[in-house]
Each structure stands twice: as structure tokens, then as C-alpha cells.
A and B are shown apart, each in its own frame.
Chain A
Amino acid sequence: MYDLIVIGGGVNGTGIARDAAMRGYRTLLVEKRDFAAGSSGANSGMIHGGVRYLRYDRSVTEMACIDSGYIQRIAPHLLFRIPFLFPLRAEDPADPSLQERFLRYGVEVYLGLYDVYQPHKRGKQSAVLSAEEAYDLEPALARDLIGAISFDEWGIDPFRLCAANAVSAKAHGATLRTYAQVTGFLRGEAGRLEGVTLRDEATGAEEAHRARAVVLACGPWSTKVAKLAGVEVKIRPGKGVHLTLDRRVSNYGVICKTVDGRDIFVMPHEQTSIVGTTDDDFYGDPDHLQVTEDEVAYLWEAATRSVPSVRHARILRAWAGVRPTMYEYGKLEDALSREHAIAHHDADGASGLISLVGGKLASYRIMSEEVVDAVERVLGEQHRPCRTHLEPLPGGDAFPDVPELAGRYRLPQVTVERIAYRHGALAASICELADREPHLRTPICRCEQVIAAELAWSIRHEEGRRLLDLRRRNRLAMGPCQGTDCAAAAAAVLAREAELAPAQQRRELADLLQMRWKGKRAVLDGEGLAQEELSRSIHLGAGALGEAPLAERAPKAGATGQPTKADEDAA
């Protein structure tokens, strides 16, 4: 018997589970795939204040900025500063038109307004730059500017944020169940929800779990899951497409104008650049997202216009996610509120059910706090204070001394740096693990500097069960080679750690390669074709992984989840 069952392992679900567990509630988190496998892993990877929303919801911006400050305090290792430039251009830079000059002052005032919120998130104030100053800072900019205005944002690895919340929840007593799909709800007296039935995707077994309250935090899947309880949860899902480039093409994030006048960006993210994003109403199945030709062309046109040097980079992949935006009729996608809503469903005949929709990554923590407050009211409990903004996430208490660790354990400093970014203070434990078990010193992913010890750590301590989970935890196979070099060795590490049978090991490998292929497919060009040909020749040709594992992929009850299910794929 639990106090609370949270459905959904995205940033909200893991955030709620952490908060509830820290307040001492017996909590079960149920996720049908893995943490951050859905929308939480397919966003721009920013804890931004939402400068875009300033136009429509000033309160969203303020809340996001305040909470962004808290996230910096609890997970400082995961955040990296991304200064942005908003270029101001003119048809003829020597003689800008009245309209162009008007826009310039508009942006200046607008970003000046944003400055009011910057101190909340330790952001720097905006600066008005001349064209020459902007070119000095960012030589990649197209030479048609009359000036630029800077503003400050923070990047984050959203996968790690979710994993850290989940691990923390577990440390506070929560039970985590990934690869467990909710199949129905248990009803008690007067139709009150008293728990869920779920199917363990690994064993196929059905289970029932009882709880005093159930929270839906399923993002774009909320509608589907709520339907199982006979409840309508309405959202207006929006599909967002990003492109990942093989390198950092700019020092700054650059705002680019699209052909229809929207603002998108090119920004450095870890070892790559991200171009994003589209925002279009989405009526399909969030389990089966595909990127189309026009979505890629739309982003690329805007990116090449503002930052022409992106042409020298290779598009590694295109990926899509679905925003679980709140339902409103008659508005354009961009104008939709990023507000969130917490609903009780007593009136729908499902008392004990609470749903959360809308919101944005940067405000996950405050939303989680509000949800747990609402849960307390349903449970009739005395309010216990929330501490999620005070207590650091795992690894967030101190940043390790990277050169010292590298020297002590004789690991390359660049490797330890990446481990420290991803795991904060826990990097020391991972280095120590590599020291204790020397085979775990083996470099696995050279693009992203992942060693076997980091994979083993995620399997042992971070609920990493499948190869794709390790991809999300550690950026495995997310660099330029997209798994060509590392996939097989990583599968071997997993096979050892999780004691997989040979057939399961082959299937894990095939599934990772399949997911990487899915993201490459829409953007195959130039060197990307050679890269994929090499991957095919290694894995399908020389490795003969072709027919056999694909036959094994048929949907029969396997021991490691549901390989045929689509998997959101980010960065």
C-alpha cells in the first residue's frame, strides 16, 4: 500500500516522486519506458526563463526564472551558461529602415524587461551591441546586422535531471518501476481510485498496486492514460523538431528568424550544436513520431541564413518531441500558454486522481511542489514542508576537483571532466569504481568520453536496464559517430552487468542502432551517408547482426522490455 502512485517518469513525474518521498510519503513511480524517454528528453535542453513567453505570460517567465535559480542550487554541475545573441538585421545595414530601427528599440525594451528576472537565475543583464561588437563576439554571424542584443540562459542535460530526481526519490524510499505500463485503475468505494494495474514489460506479468492517491504526469500521454480511468484530460499537443549538429558552430546561442517570422535558435549544447525548434499542432500518436522533410528544411533555412557556417557542420540527426501544452482553442501554437494546471477529477467520477498538464522544463520543481501540496490535501494529511529546492540532487553538493581525480586514478582529464559534468560529486565514486575493477577503465564512447565504469554505475545505481537507458544517462552514442564505434562494446558491458543472455545482448545492440538510425534517416547527406554505410558494414555486414536479431525483435515477451515500441530520441 502506497500513499501515492505517480504515473510518468519524465521531469514532472520524477520531480513529484522526489518531493513526495522527501516529505515521507510512501511513493511508487511507474514509467512505461525509461526516465526522460518522452518529452522530457526531447526538449531544447535549457532551463531557460522563457523569454519568448514574456509576451504572453509574464508570470510563467517569472516563475521559471525563480525556479531556474533553485535548480542551479540543487544541481550546479548539470547547468552550463549559454549566452544568447539576438541579432538585429537590416536589408541595408548602412541605412536601416524606420521599421528595422523600431524593431531594434522594441527588442531592447523587451530584453530589458527580461533583465528584471535575470537575478533570480543568476543571469547576466542584457547588453546592446553594435554590429562590430557582435561580429567580434560571434564571428559566425551573417554580415547583415545593425547590432545585436545579448541575453543569458542556462543549458542542462534533461536526461540527467530526470535520472537525478529519480535516484534521489529512491534514496528517500520511493519505489521506481521503469518498463512498467499502466493497464488500468483500481476502484474502491464510490468509484474512488485506489491504485493501478500495470504490466511489467520485461516479464509480461500483471500486477496491482494500491495507493491513497494517483498522480498523472504523463505529458502528451496524459489523455491516453486518463482514458483508462474514464477521465478526459485535454491538452493541445505541439510537435517540436530539433536538429543536432556534429560540432559547436558558435560560441553563443543565436536567435534566427524563420521564413514565417518565428524565432528559432542555433546554440552550442555540450559537444554539439542544437537547432530548434518547430512548434506545430500534433494530432498523431506520440509513440510514433517521425521528422519530415519540410520540418528539416524549415529549420535549416533559418539557421543557414543567420549563421551561414552551420553549412560546414554535419547534421547528425533530427529528433522530435511533443509538448503537452494546455488546451486552448483558436490560438496560434506559439501564443499558447506555457502555464500549467493541476486538476482534481472528483467531478469526473475519479476522486483520488490528480493530473498535471502544461508547464515547462524550467519550472518542473515548483510544479512538483504544487502537485504534492495538492496530494496532501487529497490525503487529508498535515502539510509537510517541501525541501526539494534546498537539498541538492545526487552529485549536486560539490563539484569535484577534476585534475586531482584524473591524476589519482590515472584517467584522462577530459574523460573525468565529462563524468564530473554528468555526475557532479559522484564522479569520484565512478573513478574509484574504475580503479577497483580495471576492465571498467575501457573507453566505450570516444565522442562523448564515456568509459565502461560510467555505464556500470548507471546500471548499478541509476536504474539503467537497457542500452537505450545508458544512452540517455551518459550520452552514449550521441556524438558524431552515433554508435558506430561504441554500440557493440557498450552492449557487452550491459550484458555483463545485467547478465543478459546472448540473444538479449544482440537485441539490445540492434535496438540502439535502430534508434540512432531513426534519427539519422531524415538528414542523410554528405558525410552522414558514409558514416551510416560504415555502421552498416560493421554491424550488419561484418557483424552479421542483420537477419537474426531482427527476427528476434518480433514482439514476444522478452526479458528486457518492449523492443518494438518507438522511443523518443533526443540530442
Chain B
Amino acid sequence: MSVGLRGRAVEGSIRADVVVIGGGIAGAAAALAARRKGRQVALVRRAWGATALSAGLLDLAPDPFASPAQPLGERRDVRGCIRALALRSPRHPWSLLAERLERLPALLGRAAEESGGRLRFTPLEAENRCVLTPLGTLKTSAGGQDAVLRGDLHHGGRIGVVGFARHPAWDAELLAASLAELATVAGLRCGAAAVPTDYLDRIDDYALRPLQLAARIEKDPDRLVQSIRRALPPGVDRLLLPPLLGTDDPAPVLAHLEAALGLPCAELPAASTAPLPGLRLQRLLEARLEAAGVQLLHGEATSDGDVAGLRVTAPLAPILDPSHFDEGRATAEPPPPPSHRVEAVAVVLATGRYVGGGIRRNGRLRESVFDLPVAIDGGIDPGSWPGSLTSVEKGGEQPAFRAGVAVDRQLRPLDRDGTPRDTRLFACGSVLAGNDPARDGAGLGLSWCTGWLAGEAACGEGG
């Protein structure tokens, strides 16, 4: 198990056909798409971002008429949901891609191929999958990590929710009670039973963090099996477990549990600041990028305007140098990190929004690499007071959280005058304007799609 970025720090100038900035799911998709076209690809990223903090789902668009606590009455297929979202918000990325929706099944298929089946999507003709979340809510999503999607509640049956006895984050009884209540409301034909295990039995066990728990389960899954057996009520058809089944690929632990217990098992998605599914996805993407021959670099990109002016620095280098902390040297200014030229045919911007650092606000909203204008609902932010970019209700309309780079239909970022900044520059993922994933329900799935399309566009195709 390796924690940390793969690849190496930027050391000299970068030369590649396509340079991708940002290493989340959008950047990874772009890099893989360009590799498929036979291009030389370098991917530069500052650090892990929102993808590594994600829940394990790859959502495309929710059913606007089936919010989690309401009956899933009018069940649209995923394609219908995407169309509805595009129609509702004309500046949404789905709206820009409306003419290319027929390519969608192929793009989603690439995710399954590239991940060796660990990421997958429901067919667009089917409805969104529906899973129980750790907050005791129901979440619909078209795609996700295989271990999580296996927990689709449409499978029905009496579902055993496995937790640790009264653990505040994984309380089987609370989750089962929520599931029972919401399944009825949502018209799902499934029952719920709590499986509160005694797996945490040492004095400090309740202080363990997800990664520590996962490492322990991975080491000795039989101990978990025995705990589940002791707590398992009769008549349970399938099990949902906390997303702690191993630190990397959960498949081996899942297979072990299924064989030992004789029940189909799945993981819940995560909803926390330390989500193991997000970490696994990030590692999966990095491994895949490396295997595909993408040059992985850590560094920070800046430009004085266009692709020709792009430079990268290795920002962490002086901090990683322990001598900097030596007695007497601590107050000395670290030397400015060297910056290197980038020679690329095309550049893909996949830097994310605030978590990723693609958009920052320091008095006014700025795009952090090219200083592209940041659009909010069609206008350019002039440096408004944050209160006026938001609304009082947290769950209400929040323009600040759909701010981003405006692009044309070829995913080229637009300047103030509405023309592309540079015909060799493309953008994808959460840096794009118009999508508030928390409210619109289009998340990592959309990022995969825009990433792949931007990668292809950077090779001079698509559009």
C-alpha cells in the first residue's frame, strides 16, 4: 500500500503533446483519453484534491422528481435525467454537451475499461441506482465504485446493515431505522435489519480512524466475519457494510466475506472528511495513469496568459528539505523554487474548484493558473462581497458554488470578450462554471465525461 503521490517532482522543462494540469478524475480521464490517441501526455498536479475526498459514487444527474425522501414515482432513465438537468440550467456543462449525448455510453464504458471494472455505470436506458448513505439518507447515482454500486437498493430483499455497536459514525441500528423508514417512503421493496457487531472490543478501538480500521479488517477479515455471525439476525438476504473493507481494492475482502457468510455484500458510500472510497479511487487512477505511460509530475502551474506562457514549479521542494528547519536557518527565506517551461501542443485544465484549488478567492474570484475570468451565472465576478454570491439557506441556490470557467462547446475556456483564450487550451471537471454538484447532483460522473472529451479535444478531435 502506498500513500502519496506517484511520479516525481517537476525537475526540468516539460515537453509533451498534451499537458494535463490537475490529477483528479477529470484530469485522469483527459490524460487517458489522450494516451488512447497515441499522444505523449504529462500530467502535473499540486496535490490530491476533491476526487481523493469523494464518496465512491460517480453521479451524472439525479432524477429531479425523485428526491431521496420522496417516492421514486416518476422514474426517468439516466438519459432523461441528464436532459432535464440541461434544460433546467442552460449554463450547466450538460447543456453545453447536449449535442454529444449519443457519445455518452462510449465514454462511460471507457471508465469501466480503464478501471478494470472497478468503476461502472448503469446503462443510460436504466434508472439511477439508489444507495443508503452513512448519514441515513438515500442517494441516487448512475455510477460508482463497484463495491458501492453492489449495494443498490433496487435489488430488494431484507438488507442487513452492518455497523459497530453504537459507534457514532457506523451505528447499525440508526442506519437500519433510517433505511426502513426511507425505503417505505421511496417505494423501494426492501426491508432493513441492524447487524450491530462487537468487532470493536479493545479499549481504544473507538478512536480508530477509517484507514486504521480498514487496515485491521484487511489483515484479518475472519474476525469481522465472526463478529457479523454473532450479530446477524435470521432472514437477512444481503449485507451493507461500512466502506472499510480494505485499504485499496475492496474486492478481495468482499469476496472473502461473501464466501464465508454466504450472503451478497456491498459497501456503503462514504460521507466524511476521510473517505476511503475517495482515497482508493485516487490511487486507482494514479496506478492506471502510470501504467498507461502518462508522465506523472508534482508541481504547480502558472501562466502569464496563454499556453505559450505556461510554466511549472515544484512548490513543495523547499518545505520537504529538512535542512530548512535546522537551527538558525528557520528564519531564512527559502529560495524561490525554480520554474520550468512547458512545451505542449495542447493543455487541459482540470484543476477543480475550491477544494482542488482551480478557483480561488482572495478579494475576488480568480482562476489560479491562467487567471481566466471566473463566471457566475453568465456574468464575470467583479469582486462581489461573498454574501451576495450566496443565499441564506445552505441548501438553497449558491451561485458561488457553481462559479468557474466558462467554455465553448469544444470546452475551450472563454475570455471576457466571449472568445477562447487560447485555441490550444481546454478545460474540464469542476473548474467548469455552471455545476453545483451538491445541489445539481452531477458530480464525478460528469467530471469523467468532460475530462475524456477535453482529452480528445486536446488531440484535435471531437467537438
Contact = CB atoms under 8 A, between A and B. Distances in A.
Most buried by B among A438, A484, A523: A438
Contacts of A502: 136, 174, 177-178, 181-182
B392 to A, nearest CB: 7
Interface stretch (B2-10, B97-105, B360-368, B415-423): B360-368
Nearest to A503: B181
A430 B459 CA distance: 63
A548 B67 CA distance: 7
A516 to B, nearest CB: 8
Contact of B362 (A525, A539, A541): A525
B350 interface: no
Contact of B355 (A293, A410, A534, A547): A534
Contacts of B57: 542
B133 interface: yes
Interface string A20-51: 00000000000000000000000000000000
A537 interface: yes
Nearest to B170: A492
Contacts of B78: none
Given A442-B168, A536-B438, A548-B68, A496 B137 contact: no
Interface string A508-547: 0110011001100111111001101110111111111111
A487 B157 CA distance: 31
B410 interface: no
A495 B169 CA distance: 12
Contact of A537 (B174, B178, B357, B437): B437
A543 B181 contact: no
A378 interface: no
Contact of B207 (A442, A501, A514, A539): A442
B168 A547 contact: no
B400 interface: yes
A488 interface: yes
B171 interface: yes
Contacts of B339: none
B387 A543 contact: no
Contacts of B67: 546-548, 551
A426 B235 CA distance: 46
B135 A529 contact: no
Contact of B443 (A293, A441, A539, A541): A541
B169 A506 contact: no
Interface residues of A, number: 62
Contacts of B164: 439
A353 B401 CA distance: 51
Contact of A523 (B70, B271, B273, B386): B386
A492 B168 CA distance: 5
Interface stretch (B48-56, B295-303, B313-321): B48-56
A542 B389 CA distance: 23
A452 interface: yes
B135 A521 contact: no
A490 B168 contact: yes
A481 interface: yes
A443 B273 CA distance: 14
Nearest to B385: A293
B395 interface: yes
B273 A534 contact: yes
Interface in A473-509: 481, 484-485, 488-490, 492-493, 495-496, 501-503, 505-506, 509
B215 interface: no
B272 interface: yes
B333 interface: no
B149 to A, nearest CB: 14
Contacts of A543: 133-135, 137, 139, 271
B206 A441 contact: yes
Contacts of A503: 181
Given A502-B174, A506-B137, A544-B138, A550 B393 contact: yes
A167 interface: no
A38 to B, nearest CB: 19
A457 B392 CA distance: 32
A492 to B, nearest CB: 4
Interface string A320-353: 0000000000000000000000000000000000
Interface of A is mostly: helix
Given A522-B386, A542-B54, A542-B133, A529 B168 contact: no
Given A544-B137, A547-B67, A522 B387 contact: yes
A444 interface: yes
Interface in B342-391: 353-355, 357, 360-363, 385-387, 389-390
Contacts of A526: 360-362
Nearest to B132: A544
Nearest to B139: A544
Contacts of B392: 290, 518, 521
Interface in B200-222: 200, 203-207
Interface string A214-257: 00000000000000000000000000000000000000000000
Nearest to B357: A530
Contacts of A505: 136, 174, 178
A547 B441 CA distance: 11
B36 interface: no
B69 interface: yes
B256 interface: no
Contacts of A517: 394
B134 A530 contact: no
B269 interface: yes
Nearest to B362: A526
Contacts of B271: 488, 538-539, 542-543
Contacts of A442: 167-169, 206-207
Interface string B137-175: 111100000000000000000000000111111010010
Contact of A488 (B135, B362, B387): B135
A492 B174 contact: yes
B407 interface: no
A481 to B, nearest CB: 7
B360 A438 contact: no
B354 A529 contact: yes
Given A502-B177, A524-B400, A534-B355, A496 B387 contact: no
A548 B55 CA distance: 19
A536 B53 CA distance: 12
A529 B400 contact: yes
Nearest to A490: B168
Given A444-B168, A543-B133, A548-B68, A514 B394 contact: yes
A538 B174 contact: no
Contacts of A290: 392
Contacts of A496: 166, 168, 171, 174
B266 interface: no
A503 to B, nearest CB: 7
B176 to A, nearest CB: 10
Contacts of B50: 533-534, 537
Given A537-B438, A546-B439, A506 B355 contact: no
A551 B207 contact: no
Given A513-B394, A550-B395, A544 B386 contact: no
Given A506-B135, A525-B362, A540 B168 contact: no
B457 interface: no
26 contacts: A410-B204, A439-B164, A439-B168, A439-B200, A441-B203, A442-B169, A503-B181, A506-B137, A509-B135, A510-B394, A513-B394, A514-B393, A524-B389, A525-B361, A529-B400, A533-B355, A534-B50, A537-B355, A538-B271, A538-B272, A540-B394, A540-B395, A542-B271, A546-B67, A546-B439, A552-B69
Query: What 4 A-B pairs come out closest when comparing CB atoms?
Result: A542-B55, A548-B69, A524-B386, A547-B67
Given A492-B171, A537-B355, A549-B69, 17 more contacts: A485-B273, A488-B272, A502-B178, A506-B135, A506-B178, A524-B387, A525-B362, A529-B354, A536-B398, A537-B55, A538-B55, A540-B439, A543-B134, A544-B133, A544-B140, A546-B395, A551-B67
